[in-house]
Amino acid sequence: MKDKEIDEKRMKMALEEAEWADREGEVPVGAVLVKGDRILAKDHNRCITLSDPTAHAEILVLRRAGQVLGNYRLNDTVMYVTAEPCPMCASAMIHSRISRLVFGAPEPKFGAVESNLELFKENGFNHRIEVDQGVLERECAETLRDFFKKRRLLSRENGDKIVSKCLTK
């Protein structure tokens, strides 16, 4: 399999996680962490479910991978995530020493890799992460767009209180 096909296959896995988040009423972002051929962890946003503001897909995946490897350094791993990481997650990736980040859709508001901030380019950090973006970008962006569209519609029709109920189904 070619590198591009491998990236797309893994991004599809991250997209499946994002769909789980959507069903649970969470912002639909999914992440997968890989070392060589081995999937170390995959997960999706769970902030509401876990009552944890830090439970972004990337953070959950980094924590799980640390347990799997028995190491707080996640050298030579690749993170696949459907949306551009926020500042918290981008910083966590630097701390964890992942080698490469592949993301799908840019995040104009909170993206900390190329959109709003460029954290990986800060000189203070002594770890460099290779970045590839735009893998299955259309699908990744649509997942997010549909979610927020649905949420806006619901909030217009029913008022804010009912929204969370509907989204959790």
- Among all residues, which ones are annotated catalytic? 58
**Count of chain residues binding Zn ion (CB under 5 A):** 4
CB of 81 to Zn ion, least distance (A): 9
Residue type, position 135, single letter: V
Write out the two tokens for 119.
């954290």
Give the residue from 46, 48, 36 showing the smallest Cα distance to 10.
36
Phi, psi of 139 (to 5 degrees): -60, -45
d(CA 38, CA 134): 23
CB of 54 to Zn ion, least distance (A): 8
Sign of CA dihedral 168, 46, 56, 83: negative
The contact mask relative to Zn ion for 88-117 (x = CB under 5 A, - = no) is: xx----------------------------
CB of 38 to Zn ion, least distance (A): 24
Residues in 30-89 that interact with Zn ion by CB under 5 A? 56, 86, 88-89
Give the residue from 22, 82, 68, 65 showing the smallest Cα distance to 46.
22
Nearer CB in complex with Zn ion: 88/166: 88
The contact mask relative to Zn ion for 120-149 (x = CB under 5 A, - = no) is: ------------------------------
DSSP string, 32-93: EEEETTEEEEEEE--HHHHT-TT--HHHHHHHHHHHHHT-S--TT-EEEEEEPPPHHHHHHH
Nearer CB in complex with Zn ion: 44/56: 56
CB of 112 to Zn ion, least distance (A): 8
Nearer CB in complex with Zn ion: 114/166: 114
Nearer CB in complex with Zn ion: 6/88: 88
Positions touching Zn ion (CB under 5 A) are 56, 86, 88-89
